[in-house]
Structure 1
Amino acid sequence: MSQDRLELLSQLPLRDNLRGLSPYGAPQIDVPVQLNVNENTHPMPQAVVDAITEAVREAAATLYRYPDREFVALREDLAAYLGHGLTFENLWAANGSNEVLQQILQAFGGPGRTLLSFPPTYSMYPLLASGTDTGYLEGKRTGDYTLSADDAARQVIEHEPNIVFLCSPNNPTGTALGLDVIEAVYEAGEAFNTIVVVDEAYAEFALAGTRSALTLLPGRERLIVTRTMSKAFALAGARLGYLAAAAQVVDALRLVRLPYHLSAVTQATARAALAHADVLLDNVEDIKRQRDRIVSELTALGLVPAVSDSNFVTFGRLTDPNAVFEALLADGIIVRNNGLPGQLRVTAGTEAETSAFLNSLRAYLEAHPEARA
């Protein structure tokens, strides 16, 4: 935003807690290899394109009517996909998981209430807190960005938050939390009636043996697990996020949702994709192979990639991440510079995109041996 626009903005009667903030947004630069925003880089399978096209065509005939505001059929499909004994009453959805998180804060946050999370983590959390006038508390991680059960529980007891957001797998580091951390946070928040949200946007990409927080839902009425169809289902452009929780949590979100917030076209698109989950999850397996390839080859290059349960890899031991970022960009490849010291993040692309990234990075490091710390 230009300085002139910032000055004009400052003259408006903006809420005090929004002054000085910048809107969320990763760079959108039109280059051949875009590996900076954790999209599913694999093309949508033609069978799924055809199914979505037909579903939207049918929905178009009824667009003069409001959509099903309870989107029961979609919630039933989501429950069937997740399993774990969930029913449609345990599911809720909105326009991307960001809107789901916003609705949670609208229902359980607000003035005089607080949200605790543990940076570095998803950068939208403090922005969502500001937008709902919820106080944002920054928890602490260890130097290697891990979070233990005892340390997380201690910080919950110290801060007494109304809500805790746990990102697992974490963005930008990519590593999943152990279920013991989630259990400890939930138990520590018992005395404060704390809502605990586990953001599992990248759950489908987790390493073998990684258990979902969905397994912890029974008997925990203050636990919420959020998911998205943007990543594994390649629907970033459709905007469909959802959650699983106790039925009374879903009832609470009905109090703050906008009328008919989920369009008929969105519902039709999501249902068609869910009907082809097996085809889309085949792409997920290929993405995981490319992710593991990135981890292996970055290690061979003398860099330090984090353990990744996601469709991206954060890697370090760079003396000047900005210089590496610019060199890759000059080769038509964009990755993400999150500002973490000595580190960059790259999305696992197609085999060709992954090769382009690795070849460019290898050539840069060979020409600039001082680039490795």
Structure 2
Amino acid sequence: MALQQLLRTSLLALGLVLAACGKSEQKPAGPPGGGMPAPEVGVVTVQLQDVGLVTELPGRLEASRVAQVRARAAGIVQERLFREGSDVKAGQALYRIDSAPYQAAAASAQATLARAQANLGQAKALAERYRPLVEANAISKQEYANAVASQKAAEAEVAAGEAAVRTAQITLNYASVTAPISGRIGRSLVTEGALVGQGEPTPLATIQVIHPLYVNITQSASEVLNLRRAMEQGRLKRSGDGTQVKVLLEDGSAYGQAGRLLFSDLQVDPTSGQVALRAEVPNPAGMLLPGMYVRVLIEQAKASNAILLPQQAVTRTQQGDSVLVVGADGKTAPRQIKVGGSQDGHWVVVDGLKSGEQVVVDGFQKLQMMPPGTPVKPVPWNNGKPAAAAAPAASAASAPRS
């Protein structure tokens, strides 16, 4: 019995020793206390600056110069001398109208002038012969006065004849219809053989200058009033002269060349309550066409000490605009802000933030999974690409041993 008791005591002591050794070799499975690392969120640091307030307005393109080609001489169109849709130069011949009647009228006027010039020569010679005779009392003064009057009448007939010749030549030139301006000509409104110019000048074609183009823009009178009131109160500054504009096409793409604002109208359209603005846009390649509908981005004013925030950082609701700000303790808190406009995909914040504060831009889904008041780890947000998150400690702990 004593031997069995001794054996039982030895086995129990050996078991305790082996259990103690097994516990000493075990590694902890996770971080002490089982805590989770702080979630990373992308942030931007607030910087105050002068920011242009860009307004997007509707507009319609219009040719900078438009001229209608009309027939100023009556007759039959004999030939069209241009290709429809081509560029023409000022003075270039476009149509040829039957000029035979006008050539005959010009020849008749020239003959009438020649007859008047012959009569003038005869009357002038007679007056010169009578001058010494009247001084010698060889003829009466009345006869000399009649000769002088005949000379002056002949001079007037010559002047009238010269005017008639010029008129006939002008009318003859109208038979050749030329381009009044340089530009791009549209389709022809008449064909060869058409009778034109009867009663009133007949429209033949239209020439338009499409480089540059005008953009006719409309803006509500209330927006203009609010903008001017903000400038008077000093909250906004007027943009400099020659304000640049950007054109957005109907498909939403941006036109490659910037234009400039020419003027803002001084009156409001009583039927629409809109104020008219006009901009000028270069169009060297002819990609834009008159009549196209576009959207125009105009920087009408500048906000002093404003902030540019990515649009995804701002939550816009009926109650107002707000952002999440990371405090000194690493906790996030909502903040009400005031948005004054947009610029290149950013909101222009004019009130509610201070320089140096950090605003959350990325990582909102992580915050929704955490309880309120959870501290976060802010990392710089770089053009929509926040820094990569650290690997969880559990991954390293679960790696296989070599």
The normalised TM-score by structure 2 is 0.22
The normalised TM-score by structure 1 is 0.23
Compare CA radii of gyration and give the structure with the larger one.
2
The structure in which a higher percent of residues are strand is 2
The structure in which a higher percent of residues are helix is 1
Kindly indicate whether structure 1 or structure 2 has the higher relative contact order, using CA contacts under 8 Å at least 6 residues apart. Answer: 2
